[in-house]
Structure 1
Amino acid sequence: MLPPQQIAVIVGIGEVTDHNRDPAQVPEPTELIARALREAGEDAGDGWLKRLDSINLVALTSWRYHDPVRDICARLGIAPAHAVNSRRGGETPVRLLHEAALRVISGEHKACAIIGGEATNARTRARRARIELPWTPMPAPADSVEFPGLSTVRSPLAERYDMLEPSRIYPLYETASQAAWNQTPAAAHTESARLWERYAKVASVNPFAWISDAPSAEKISTIDSDNRLINWPYPKLMVANPSVNQAAAFIVTTLAEARAAGIAEERLVYVIGGAAANEPDDFLHRDRYDRSAAQEAVLGTVIERAGGVAAVSYMELYSCFPVVPKMALRFLAIDPEEAVPSVAGGLTFFGGPLHNYMSHAICAMVRALRTNRGAIGLLYGQGGYVTKHHAVLLGTQPPEHVLSSDPSVQAQADALRGPSPAVREAYSGPAAIEAFTVKYARDGEPLQGTLVLRTPAGERTMASVPAEDRDTLALLQSSDRNAVGVAGTVTLQPDGLAHWTPLMCAAAAPRGVAS
């Protein structure tokens, strides 16, 4: 067995969810987070908040502060030497867990807390009701802390077609994957709904979940006024729900420190290993949209470390949109119809407090592992637009090998990745669909189709389908046939945008489109 000072453990967890419909009664974000950290300290045992010499706050976006991490410390009467307002990204809590584990086993710190939270629901309600919240006065943007951001490199071409939001980019992966998996859109939609039903069932028994009524797959898949389409093919009940008031915290230290404090063995959860890799920041400069080399390198590494998929008792597969866990499950050779891919409940039903969901997943995983000694849990977080991937293994037995000081498996990801096609900023002529989506208005009417296309030379470009082209939009929204691979013509318009129209007879996928 490794020396106890070389083994990292989670010793305390805390969560807060406030469903109060009166926004003035909801604590402000820093108070929510302080309460979660206080809960984590109580879960670890007497004196643990005073032991903390490191705190990292996951990027907070629902309210502006001068220095929110120091505000939280002041509320708790603690002053750790290392107190950092950390970066954005859905993978951030997993990354911070991994980094904290490395810092404690290196001796840099003795006890680290990872904290985060949002009160987006309260702020939205207050804005709609024109209520002034009794929170810390919000400073001017220039006087507010600036959280390090995800890289948002986008080509002018992507900006021209308003492909800036995750809710518009993830559908590209969904539509491309449907074609690669030989699924009709209807079959893929049913698969997504059934998978989301299982997330919802987990949320229904999680006391910290935002939505606990466990909607059925039929309800999740049915498009109506309560479940309107956001961007094809995803309705509201298949996308992350950021309108929550939630906070979470967890404390990481060494086995030596935990034993010295007298924490019972059955309370400890061990950090076993992890891996991280990225895709190119600009989604137009990626090799394909039906898989992610970074995801596969990360998951492949941690599953090998665990001893195979069968050795993993619990999973949390990031769930901002269905295509992410669907790709992960296929890579892991797990039947999507049988998988239980969450311990928390997913970003739709548990709630998606922006960058902090995986902190709640970590808390849920710790609770699960404490009740099943000998089990292993897999945490997989993802940030950006299928951009940043980080996974960590947790267990209830001490690891046999010291945690690697460098979790990067970027070289493996790069080796798995194919060449990226050249991007044509301005193009007219023949092109076939590589991936696509359709944006909808709040009344459910389509606003515009947006296409990623391949030219006969294999170059990549983009075009739109205007709302008035009902026939082409109907082609894109077909339930019976995926439009990926359909050939057509790109025509440049006076406003600088390009419109795409299909040929009368659809062709097979163009040269250069991965199959």
Structure 2
Amino acid sequence: MTDPARIPVIVGIGEIADRPDAPGRGPVGPEPAALMAEALARAEADAGGGWLARLSSLDVVNAVSWPYADLALRVAEMIGHRPARLAYGPVGGETPVRFLHEAALRIARGEAAVAALCSGEAEHSAAAARRAGSRPERDAAPPWTAPDPAWTNPRVRDYLHPQALRHGLSQPVFAYPLYETALQAAWGQTPRQGRDESAALWAAMSRVAAENPHGWLRRPFGADEIATPSPANRPIAWPYPKLMVANPVVNQAAAVIVASLALARAAGLPEHRLIHIGPGAAANEPRDWLARDRFDHAPAQDAVLAATLRRAGLAASDLAAVELYSCFPCVPKMARRSLGLPEDAVPTVAGGLTFFGAPLNGYMAHAACAMVRRLREAPGAAGLLYGQGEFVTKHHALVLGSRPLAAPSEPISVQDEADRRRGPVPPVIEDATGRATVETHTVLFDREGAPERGVVVLRQGESRLLARVPATDRATLGVLTDLDSSPVGREGALRRAPDGLLDWEAA
């Protein structure tokens, strides 16, 4: 593609971290829509001004910290311009990458000349208001938008298997550990070795976050501090303590403005500040995580990363920077291996979802901003954004560069390739007797750090099933939390409990 009117470039980025200790800030900070509007204003200023009134497309990342009737429209009202295309996205941590990719494709097709995306959450303020019994729509200054009484939380998990719901594995923090445990066994690691790899990786991310002025936890954390349970780092779901999981209790927003190269040049923007958007790819795993072939790989992740680099004509070693989604350690650890990156590679430019902060679906918008800053300082370099959503479910990657890249490709989807990489899926059974073998597992803890129960994914013949390990079965819980021996492949006995669930006891 050589027509500058069809070449998409990022012209402006904007971020905000609304800290409760900021000078002059009131007891309740701005609402999510106001944070998004401010991020867009900052992106416009970064691009030299005059861009928001020219937006023909605006994608708003799904937000859940406040119940809006029409969040996208509210943001448009706050910036004083309603684009011809105004869209509100679904839940998913990959959506900022998808929106950026789709904005580039609209420009490449001549459907838009200026487009933007924005994200924002104010969960820290909303949670503080709930604890204090205050109402931000009344008590904040200025008051927040009146809540929509008909709003329903979009994070409904009714697509999961009934057995997953019965065992309480309906939240990501309880499901991602199943991947972590299975991966450690597949990679030949003891749980201690897997924990230490995660802690070292997270410590490196914390150092990046500490240098990011828009981050939330802006101090470096040591690997021992991250790995070791403590009152400030309580165990949540084995093998993850608090400092290995995403932190959504933040007030953060980000925005990116995309335009054609022709418009950017006409506006007099320096070439070194224009970041080119290259090709990308997307694919999904089955939404119900029990309907997957295995828990020690993610075929959609592998297909997406391979296709994105192939379409860009790059090898992983050509990348100056990467952002690998980091809601939990298993995701970037898998992606690092899929890409063939060295063990000491730091797969973030923003700081990761634990330390930079995890404004729910919006983190990758911040990662895009950080990548733009990095590439503006690296002439001729390229970087990779990889986002992921739900339960290792939705995967999207995109290449950016401080030089012209291969054109953004269509179709985006590489679902066929992901499906080809997937093996047969074991049928899930709900009733069984006799013995069964651990495929993977986790242990759930209460807020004081005591185990509430274990949950094991088991194999019996060709079938898969779920069972519980009661808190009273300390011996089996000890097997599941042994740092020096993986329980994957361990056999045990099943029995039906009075509440109808299956319990499992290690042999």
User: TM class by shorter-chain length?
Assistant: over 0.9
Structure 1 CA distance for aligned equivalents of residues 232 and 144 of structure 2: 35
Structure 1 CA distance for aligned equivalents of residues 178 and 28 of structure 2: 40
Q: List per-residue Cα deviations over 1:342-388 (Å, max 9, x = no partner).
A: 00000000000000000000000000000001110000000000000
Contact 1:86/1:147 (8 A) holds in 2? no
Contact 2:28/2:129 (8 A) holds in 1? no
Shift in alpha-carbon separation, 1:164–1:100, aligned structure 2, 3 A: same
Structure 2 CA distance for aligned equivalents of residues 258 and 150 of structure 1: 41
Q: What is the TM-score normalised by the length of structure 1?
A: 0.94
Deviation at 1:261, TM superposition (A): 2.0
1:511 is aligned to none
The runs of 5 or more residues in structure 1 that have no matched partner are 504-515
Question: 1:343 aligned to 2:349?
Answer: yes
Deviation at 1:23, TM superposition (A): 6.5
Structure 2 CA distance for aligned equivalents of residues 109 and 68 of structure 1: 22
Q: Which stretch has the larger CA shift, 146-155 or 352-361? A: 146-155
1:188 is aligned to 194
Q: Which stretch has the larger CA shift, 298-307 or 40-49? A: 298-307
2:256 is aligned to 250
Deviation at 1:148, TM superposition (A): 6.8
2:486 is aligned to 482
1:285 is aligned to 291
Report matched runs for 1:56-205 at 5 Å. Answer: 56-133=59-136, 134=140, 135-142=143-150, 144=151, 153-205=159-211
Aligned-partner SS, 1:24: coil
Q: List per-residue Cα deviations over 1:40-88 (Å, max 9, x = no partner).
A: 0111122111111111110011111121222122122112111112111
Structure 1 CA distance for aligned equivalents of residues 153 and 505 of structure 2: 43
Matching residue within 307, 316, 332 for 2:339: 332
Aligned-partner SS, 2:189: coil
Question: 1:432 aligned to 2:432?
Answer: no
Deviation at 1:303, TM superposition (A): 2.4
Give, as a single letter, the amino acid of the residue that structure 2 aligns with 1:92: T
Percent identity, please. Answer: 49
Structure 2 CA distance for aligned equivalents of residues 375 and 417 of structure 1: 34
Shift in alpha-carbon separation, 1:126–1:23, aligned structure 2, 3 A: farther
Give, as a single letter, the amino acid of the residue that structure 1 aligns with 2:229: I
Structure 1 CA distance for aligned equivalents of residues 468 and 26 of structure 2: 40
Aligned-partner SS, 2:215: coil
2:275 is aligned to 269
Structure 1 CA distance for aligned equivalents of residues 13 and 58 of structure 2: 14
Contact 1:23/1:123 (8 A) holds in 2? no
Deviation at 1:262, TM superposition (A): 2.0
Q: List per-residue Cα deviations over 1:155-175 (Å, max 9, x = no partner).
A: 111111111000010000000
Give, as a single letter, the amino acid of the residue that structure 1 aligns with 2:7: I
Shift in alpha-carbon separation, 1:152–1:385, aligned structure 2, 3 A: farther
1:513 is aligned to none
Matching residue within 494, 501, 504 for 2:505: 501
CA RMSD of aligned residues (A): 1.5
Matching residue within 391, 396, 410 for 2:402: 396
Aligned-partner SS, 2:27: helix
Deviation at 1:302, TM superposition (A): 1.7
Deviation at 1:408, TM superposition (A): 0.7
Q: List per-residue Cα deviations over 1:100-154 (Å, max 9, x = no partner).
A: 1111111212211100100101111121122232233533442x4x787688511
Contact 2:101/2:408 (8 A) holds in 1? no
Structure 1 CA distance for aligned equivalents of residues 472 and 394 of structure 2: 37
Aligned-partner SS, 1:102: helix
Deviation at 1:396, TM superposition (A): 1.1
Structure 2 CA distance for aligned equivalents of residues 108 and 339 of structure 1: 39
Query: Size of the alignment, in residue pairs?
Result: 498
Deviation at 1:216, TM superposition (A): 0.7
